[in-house]
Structure 1
Amino acid sequence: MSLIAVEAAITVTDPSQRAAILERSAPIQKATRDDEPGCIVYCFAADPCQDDLIQVYELWESEEALAAHFDHPNYHDMRTMLGAGGLASAVSRKHRIDASAPVYGSDGTATAGFG
């Protein structure tokens, strides 16, 4: 079974509203984490380098868990809330992950390999 990662970049029309949008999204983020089986990570956060950008990172246990999320009221509530908040654009992608390993070895050295 493969993990599924979703990453997105959401651009808001008015950067001064980004913090309010993220505040309104927090209860939906928490509900998704708490109530949806297979949700490992669900995070919408302010990009520290671009004031009109929200970065999204999601991690799901399976394609089935992600599919169930797309049918869940939390997903529809988030889309509605973001749409009402003034979206300029959004780009999202999903990735199937077939291997996971620690970044740092026992000696504290970062490695890119999985072996």
Structure 2
Amino acid sequence: MAIIIAGTVDVAPEARENTLLEARPLIEAARAEPGCIAYAWTADLSEPGRIHVFEEWASEADLAYHFTAEPYQQMLSHLHGAGIVSAVTQKYRIDHAEPVYDPEGRPRADFFTA
């Protein structure tokens, strides 16, 4: 069962750009880990200093491996060195996924293929 991690990390606005640039090799290393489907950090265009985190892992075992991998440990050090103001992340188990748009191109809030 896939797992999504989504959240935000806030740093001082003047530190955000360098925080993202210096994290790039660690992000690339995480993307190469087994079971990593997606791993992205992006700047929030409306909130100075805010970084959005999005990860998708193929399984709980893959996520557990990630948490023990060296790039994750380095990322923690990197973030603490950047001066985290706040951080909120959640993990979600995915039991069903389907397109937002139906075959006619209409957005659907319901799960129409289940």
Question: TM-score under structure 2 normalisation?
Answer: 0.94
1:75 alignment partner, one of 72, 77, 81: 72
Looking at structure 2, the residues matched to 113 and 101 of structure 1 have their Cα atoms a distance apart, in angstroms, of: 10
Looking at structure 1, the residues matched to 55 and 5 of structure 2 have their Cα atoms a distance apart, in angstroms, of: 5
Q: Residue 17 of structure 1 corresponds to which residue in structure 2?
A: 15
Q: Residue 59 of structure 2 corresponds to which residue in structure 1?
A: 62
How do 1:23-34 and structure 2 match up within 5 A? Answer: 23-34=21-32
State the one-letter code of the partner of 2:25.
P
Identity %: 38
State the one-letter code of the partner of 2:10.
T
- Alignment partner of 1:82: what SS? helix
State the one-letter code of the partner of 1:19.
E
- Alignment partner of 2:17: what SS? helix
- Alignment partner of 2:85: what SS? strand
Looking at structure 2, the residues matched to 103 and 11 of structure 1 have their Cα atoms a distance apart, in angstroms, of: 29
**1:97 equivalenced with 2:94 (yes/no):** yes
Query: Which structure has greater strand proportion?
Result: 1
Q: Residue 5 of structure 1 corresponds to which residue in structure 2?
A: 4
Unaligned runs of 5+ in 2: none
The ranges of structure 1 where at least 4 consecutive aligned residues each deviate by more than 4 angstroms after the TM superposition are none
Question: TM-score under structure 1 normalisation?
Answer: 0.93
